[in-house]
Amino acid sequence: MAADPTAPNRGGVRDVAPALLRYRVMAYVVGVMLIALVLVAMPLKYFADMPGPVAVVGTAHGFLYAVYLLAAFDLALRARWGMLRTLLVLLAGTIPFLSFVAERNVTRRMREDGLV
């Protein structure tokens, strides 16, 4: 049975699932890029005198972090998060491995709240 397109949106519940998927993908991508930057490119720069990988991986991480910010902020608006929770999730892409932890936490809470 198909959903009635004229039915109320129940506070944007239908819009949260795609936003959560976008956020989850970007959390993983940004997390992997940050780990590559910190564990591969930075040691190459300082111990092997190879600054090229930092330029490439650092630039890619910076661009992808901006996309992550947009995806996380979109999810925060759709799920009606508070200011502190939004800020913590936005900052999670700046600390290695933390974006993975934040993604698991966000997904678990969204499922517990019945939004997805």
16's tokens: 């949260």
114: confidence class by pLDDT, cuts 50, 70, 90 = confident
Q: Within 10 Å of residue 90's Cβ, how many Cβ atoms?
A: 16
The whole-number pLDDT of residue 115 equals 84
Average pLDDT, the chain: 89
26 contacts 68 by C-beta, under 8 angstroms = yes
Q: How far is CA 71 from the centre of its chain?
A: 6
Is there a domain that residue 93 lies in?
yes
User: How many residues does the structure list for the chain?
Assistant: 116
Residue 67 placed within a domain = yes
In 3D space, the residue among 31, 95, 91 whose CA is nearest the CA of residue 61 turns out to be: 31
- 24 part of a folded domain: yes
Q: Cα dihedral angle (88, 94, 99, 101), rounded to 10 degrees? A: -70
Residue 2 lies in a domain: no
Going by pLDDT thresholds of 50, 70 and 90, the confidence category of residue 1 is: very low
Domain count, the chain: 1
Residue type, 56: V
Residue range of the domain that includes 101: 13-112
Q: Is residue 45 part of a domain?
A: yes
Q: What is the pTM of this model?
A: 0.84
Query: 8 lies in a domain?
Result: no
Measured distance CA(65)–CA(81) in Å, rounded: 20
Structure tokens at 66: 């901006």
Residue 80 lies in a domain: yes
Residue 61 counted as domain residue? yes
Q: Are 75 and 22 in contact (CB under 8 A)?
A: yes
Q: What is the pLDDT of residues 5-30, one digit of tens each?
A: 554 455 545 689 999 999 999 999 99
